[in-house]
């Protein structure tokens, strides 16, 4: 059901709780706030089909803004708060955004953006005058807007391999209260989320990402409570599960790594008995990390593989994963095909590009060439991932095609090396890329975030090299290992490898790592 219905039947039930502050919106209050925001968007000139940007931290108004857009047919464009003013300006221009909603927290960025886009209308939480979002919302009517029509969100790809692309979904049913979406049905049916209003869902990631935004919206359709973490903190997540009696959650592997880094004493401090399902996705999860989470939390760990494009989805529970370690599951939405470079299907067991025959089509906004490049002769579409199907129909991902390193004519997949590096006790995070090499074409380079930065140096290089040489073919062992205090990783777990490759292509990778020279392996 739509949250409008829950507001009528369960007005006092909590819809949104901010985990740290405890600030709460009931369904009745969320309904009124969404109506006020919808009226404000119309007052500022937005019509059905018009886009507006949302550059906002996790805060109580985020989800009501989503539901406001859903009522008046506008296109919500969530923007990562890690982007620069130039990158944000590109997305606003590409999407034809008529307005930007942001907060005073990003004042430095918006000041630059004003110079780049002087005609942009802004609403700023914590702002002044006509831009004061809170005051402007408060002046609006809490009554439902007339002539309601469903809107949709247009998410932009993370830009890990180039300029981000808007992912334009199939235009929804114009009735804003139309029946349940495929995702809502998957949450209730496949993932077991309670559909009786008792779901309490912890969302630890930033709401500008596809999964947090869409899953929170689906929990609202189920009448549940969304507990939003203002910012992820490993111990804070455990505290939120205990305090709010969370029964459902969604994570990325980076969250798992951080929580596993807590001492046994800290972990044992919290009552997690209410926690019945923990979903993870968005980035590859090293086998030892996932096995450790299942050992800790029990067989409640569920995984899926999908993309913002919504062209398909796989699923695997803990039991099946333990029987097929490393798998991301079987297809449950869309038909899956492994294809060669010619777009033709390969025999089971062979490795190739993962394609989906999507139930609902999508396209990249204003980029027919990009849409065509991911579509094969059968009309199937790919996210650019390489994988294989085993004899039982379980999918295993090797890496992304764009991340592949070709060294001396040999194809090397960085994910295998990264997954091994992060199992070393001295490694907190790792990225492996190909850097230009006069002899080999590309050389394998590892950029490592050590658990203790003071250990960064030649001794640790030798230790990691020996560790990898014992487990990998020699051609896969990095010829260069550099160290950084932090890697350019998005909050959804995805590495911005493009930035790293660009640095090393320009010859300044070692300097950026803070080391005086490159490390021979």
The domain made up of 27-171 is a member of CATH 3.40.50.150: no
**DSSP codes of every residue in 39-78:** HHHHHTT--TT-EEEE---S-TTHHHHHHHHHHHT-EEEE
Cα torsion angle, 80, 451, 521, 418, sign: negative
Element at 253 (helix H, strand E): helix 253-260
pLDDT digits (tens, 9 = 90+) for 212-265: 999 999 999 999 999 999 999 999 999 999 999 999 999 998 899 889 999 999
Res. 515: pLDDT tops 60: no
pLDDT tier at 195, thresholds 50, 70, 90: very high
Q: What integer is the mean pLDDT of 13-41? A: 98
pLDDT digits (tens, 9 = 90+) for 371-422: 999 999 999 999 999 999 999 999 999 888 888 898 887 888 899 899 999 9
* Phi, psi (rounded to 5 degrees) for 403: -95, -10
DSSP character at residue 211 = H
CATH code of the domain occupying 332-403: 2.30.38.10
DSSP character at residue 214 = H
pLDDT at 517: 34
Q: Chain centroid to CA 157: how far?
A: 10
* Phi, psi (rounded to 5 degrees) for 173: -55, 130
Q: Residues 6 or more apart from 394 whose CB is under 8 A from it?
A: 316, 320, 324, 327, 329, 330
**DSSP codes of every residue in 467-488:** HHHTTS-GGGS-SEEEE-SS--
pLDDT tier at 94, thresholds 50, 70, 90: very high
498, two tokens: 């493009």
pLDDT tier at 508, thresholds 50, 70, 90: low
DSSP character at residue 520 = B
Q: Residues 6 or more apart from 139 whose CB is under 8 A from it?
A: none
Q: Are 346 and 314 in contact (CB under 8 A)?
A: no
Q: Chain centroid to CA 453: how far?
A: 27
Q: What integer is the mean pLDDT of 453-463? A: 96
106, two tokens: 């990003």
pLDDT digits (tens, 9 = 90+) for 136-175: 999 999 999 999 999 999 999 865 446 789 999 887 778 8
pLDDT at 159: 54
Element at 97 (helix H, strand E): strand 97-103
pLDDT tier at 490, thresholds 50, 70, 90: confident
Q: What integer is the mean pLDDT of 265-293? A: 94
Q: Residues 6 or more apart from 210 whose CB is under 8 A from it?
A: 155, 308
Q: Kindly compute the dihedral angle of the four CA atoms of residues 162, 164, 169, 171, in this order, to the nearest 10 degrees.
A: -140
Res. 512: pLDDT tops 90: no
pLDDT digits (tens, 9 = 90+) for 306-365: 999 999 999 999 999 999 999 999 999 999 999 998 999 999 999 999 999 998 889 999
CA distances from 451 to 234, 267, 423, 447, 516 (A): 15, 19, 11, 13, 20
Res. 82: pLDDT tops 90: no
Percent of the residues in the chain that have a pLDDT greater than 90, as a whole number: 79
Domain range 405-512, CATH class: alpha beta
Q: Chain centroid to CA 348: how far?
A: 29
* DSSP H stretches of helix in 95-209: 107-116, 133-138, 182-189
d(CA 124, CA 105): 9
Q: How many residues does the chain have?
A: 521
Same fold, 332-403 and 405-512: no
Average pLDDT, the chain: 92
Domain limits, the chain: 27-171, 332-403, 405-512
């Amino acid at each position: 059901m739509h949250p409008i219905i829950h507001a009528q039947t369960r007005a006092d039930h909590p819809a949104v709780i901010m985990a740290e502050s405890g600030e709460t919106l009931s369904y009745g209050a969320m309904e009124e706030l969404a109506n006020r925001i919808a009226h404000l968007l119309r007052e500022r000139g937005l019509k059905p089909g018009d886009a507006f940007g949302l550059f906002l931290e996790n805060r109580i108004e985020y989800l009501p803004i989503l539901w406001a857009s859903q009522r008046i047919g506008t296109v919500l464009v969530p923007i990562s708060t890690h982007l620069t003013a130039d990158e944000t300006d590109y997305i606003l221009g590409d999407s034809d955004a008529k307005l930007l909603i942001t907060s005073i927290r990003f004042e430095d960025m918006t000041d630059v953006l004003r110079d780049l886009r002087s005609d942009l209308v802004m609403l700023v939480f914590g702002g002044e005058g006509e831009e004061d979002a809170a005051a402007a919302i408060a002046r609006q009517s809490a009554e439902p807007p007339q002539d309601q029509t469903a809107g949709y969100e247009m998410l932009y790809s993370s830009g890990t391999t180039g300029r981000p692309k808007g992912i334009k979904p199939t235009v929804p049913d114009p009735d804003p209260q139309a029946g349940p979406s495929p995702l809502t049905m998957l949450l209730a049916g496949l993932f077991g989320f309670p559909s009786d209003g008792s779901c309490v869902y912890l969302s630890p990631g930033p709401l500008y990402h596809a999964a947090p935004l869409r899953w929170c919206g689906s929990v609202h359709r189920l009448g549940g409570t969304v507990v939003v973490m203002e910012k992820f903190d490993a111990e804070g997540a455990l505290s939120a599960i205990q305090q709010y009696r969370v029964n459902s959650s969604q994570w990325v592997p980076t969250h798992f790594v951080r929580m596993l880094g807590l001492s046994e004493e800290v972990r044992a401090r919290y009552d997690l008995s209410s926690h019945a399902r923990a979903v993870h996705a968005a980035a590859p999860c090293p086998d030892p990390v996932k096995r450790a989470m299942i050992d800790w939390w029990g067989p409640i760990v569920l995984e899926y593989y999908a993309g913002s494009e919504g062209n398909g989805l796989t699923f695997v529970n803990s039991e099946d994963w333990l029987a097929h370690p490393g798998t991301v599951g079987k297809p449950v939405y869309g038909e899956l095909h492994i294809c060669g470079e010619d777009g033709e299907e390969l025999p089971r067991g062979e490795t190739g590009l993962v394609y989906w025959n999507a139930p609902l089509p999508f396209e990249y906004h204003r980029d027919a060439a990009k849409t065509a490049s991911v579509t094969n002769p059968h009309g199937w579409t790919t996210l650019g991932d390489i994988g294989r199907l085993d004899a039982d129909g379980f999918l295993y991902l090797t890496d992304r095609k764009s991340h592949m390193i070709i060294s001396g004519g040999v194809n090397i997949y960085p994910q295998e090396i990264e997954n091994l590096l992060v199992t070393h006790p001295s490694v907190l995070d790792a990225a492996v890329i190909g850097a230009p090499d006069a002899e080999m074409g590309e050389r394998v380079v590892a950029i490592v975030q050590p658990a203790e930065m003071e250990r960064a140096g030649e001794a640790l290089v030798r230790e990691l090299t020996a560790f990898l040489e014992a487990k990998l073919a020699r051609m896969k062992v990095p010829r260069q290992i550099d160290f950084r205090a932090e890697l350019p990783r998005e909050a959804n777990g995805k590495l911005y490898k493009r930035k790293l490759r660009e640095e090393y292509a320009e010859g300044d990778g070692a300097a950026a790592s803070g080391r005086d020279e490159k490390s021979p392996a």
